[in-house]
Amino acid sequence: MPQTANRIVILGGGFGGLYTALALSRLPWSKPERPQITLVDRRARFLFSPLLYELLTGELQTWEIAPPFEELLANTGCRFRQGTVDSIAIDSRQVRLQAGTVLPYDRLVLALGGETPMSDVPGAAEHAIPFRTLKDAYRLEERLRELETSDTDRIRIAVVGGGYSGVELACKLADRLGDRGRLRLVNRGAEILKTSPAFNRKAAQKALSDRGVWVDLETTVERVTADSLSLNHRDRVDAIPVDIVLWTVGVQVAGIIQSLNLQQNQRRQIVVDSTLQVVDHPEVFALGDLADCHDAEGQRVPATAQTAFQQADYCGWNIWASLTDRPMLPFRYQHLGEMMTLGADNATLTGLGVTLDGIIAHVARRLTYLYRLPTLDHQIRVGLNWIGQPIRDLLFT
């Protein structure tokens, strides 16, 4: 009687989930060992989120940064199932989707990412726009076009959050809107990019200043309405008129993960060991935003796309090792530096002893991300398009 293939279910198609699936597909499974690998995501497309900002300025197109999962997983042996997770039964090893489909598993990967918390400030959930998904970008694009085609003299935008996402958004929008834009960046701390290298912070401050972006420091948001933002600076509250409020503050673990009876930290992240296995449940692996992970050196790793990208290779290897009686590897995080876009054709890059800004950093950032796109086929298509764009611009202008 033939042995039933092991079933690997991966929940979430971001950097952690998709890249784990691709890593598993490349490992040297023998024919009897080869498992059934199913990737589940509620959306039809993967999103290379660090390049999402380029949609706003028309520098990139949707197909370049958000290829369909079906396309990426073609010829890998991995199946894609679009759906929303309804429940996860850890004891019986089953995942149920909202459509009613039940997916039994022998190994489970939790890689559902995080969500932008919007409920802490009155009116934020109803009136502010987060910026994490294609849907968010399309919603913002629609609102921008409404304002750009209206007879309003000034388009007033407030970006809440002085981290990377907030700074990058403010710079891109300032370049898009030009003299018509009135942008302000609201940050509760005394400086933007508090945990970033001084080089990046200084470059960002200059980019914001050059673009006329007003920065509110030590300021919190009290309320958001359809056309105003109430700001608290040193116990003085002022309501300012706005056309768009963008919300880039914080990350929280998805509710479906918080409800699991697994060991969690105070932020409700799932606690994993250095092999990315969930404590007390070695058949479950977790990575990315939802995982509380310390690597082989004992350092707590940041919840970033760079981390999830690195964890995926280890996760794939360790699942393979656990099913084929091979040694597992403890995750070793390598900080490879930080990159940030600061408007059209402008960026900053720090890491591995290198500091760059301006057009050179912009090119280096693009090439780095081209290399990190999920499959060779997609890398080639996007690379050829980028090479051909200047030629097309020259011919048709």
**Is the fold of 7-42+83-115+252-324 the same as that of 124-247?**
yes
- CATH fold for domain 7-42+83-115+252-324: FAD/NAD(P)-binding domain (3.50.50)
CA 209 to chain centre: 27
For the stretch 320-340, pLDDT in tens is 999 999 999 999 999 888 999
pTM over 0.95: no
Q: Could you state, in order of their start, the residue ranges of all structural domains in the chain? A: 7-42+83-115+252-324, 124-247, 338-395
Superfamily classification of domain 124-247: FAD/NAD(P)-binding domain (3.50.50.60)
SS3 334: coil
| Structure confidence at residue 119 (pLDDT) | 86
Beta strands in 116-213 (DSSP E): 129-130, 155-160, 181-186
Of the candidates 291, 253, 299, the one whose C-alpha atom is nearest the C-alpha of residue 272 is: 291
Alpha carbons within 13 angstroms on the beta-carbon side of residue 341 total 27
Work out the percent of the chain whose per-residue pLDDT is above 90. 86
For the stretch 137-181, pLDDT in tens is 999 999 999 999 999 999 999 999 999 999 999 999 999 999 999
Q: In the predicted model, is pLDDT for residue 1 greater than 80?
A: no
What strand order describes the sheet that includes 244-247? 129-130, 244-247, 155-160, 181-186, 214-216
For the stretch 222-233, pLDDT in tens is 999 999 999 999
CA angle 268, 40, 45 (to 5 degrees): 105
| Structure confidence at residue 353 (pLDDT) | 82
- Are residues 143 and 246 in contact, defined by beta-carbon separation less than 8 angstroms? no
